[in-house]
Amino acid sequence: MNIYYDEEGDFLEISKGDISNCYFDNLGEGIFQIVDKSTKEIKGIAIHSFKNRTKNLDEIKLKLPFKFNFS
């Protein structure tokens, strides 16, 4: 699993495996699923304004509009 956070752009990306053959599918409200072009498998998520969305939380819990398997 890979976790990337760009503090300047306030952008969080969580993915598994190689995502070089993937595209970002915009789900709205700054949330994207990362989808493999060949298999259509969801390989990750990306969230714009992550720090802003979670600034008042003690614990971060996000409800995503899709299932994501980490195994």
**Rounded mean pLDDT of the chain?**
84
- Looking at residue 19, its pLDDT comes to 93
The pTM of the whole model exceeds 0.75: no
Residue with tokens 């939380």: 57
Asked whether 46 and 34 are in contact (CB, 8 A), the reply is yes
For residue 9, pLDDT over 70 is answered with: yes
Query: What are the pLDDT digits (tens) for 35-53?
Result: 999 999 999 999 999 888 7
Name the one residue in this structure whose structure tokens are 């752009």. 9
Q: Are 70 and 16 in contact (CB under 8 A)?
A: yes
Could you report the per-residue pLDDT of 52-69, keeping only the tens digit for each? Answer: 877 776 666 666 655 666
Q: Do the Cβ atoms of 3 and 11 come closer than 8 Å?
A: no
> What per-residue confidence (pLDDT) applies to 61?
64
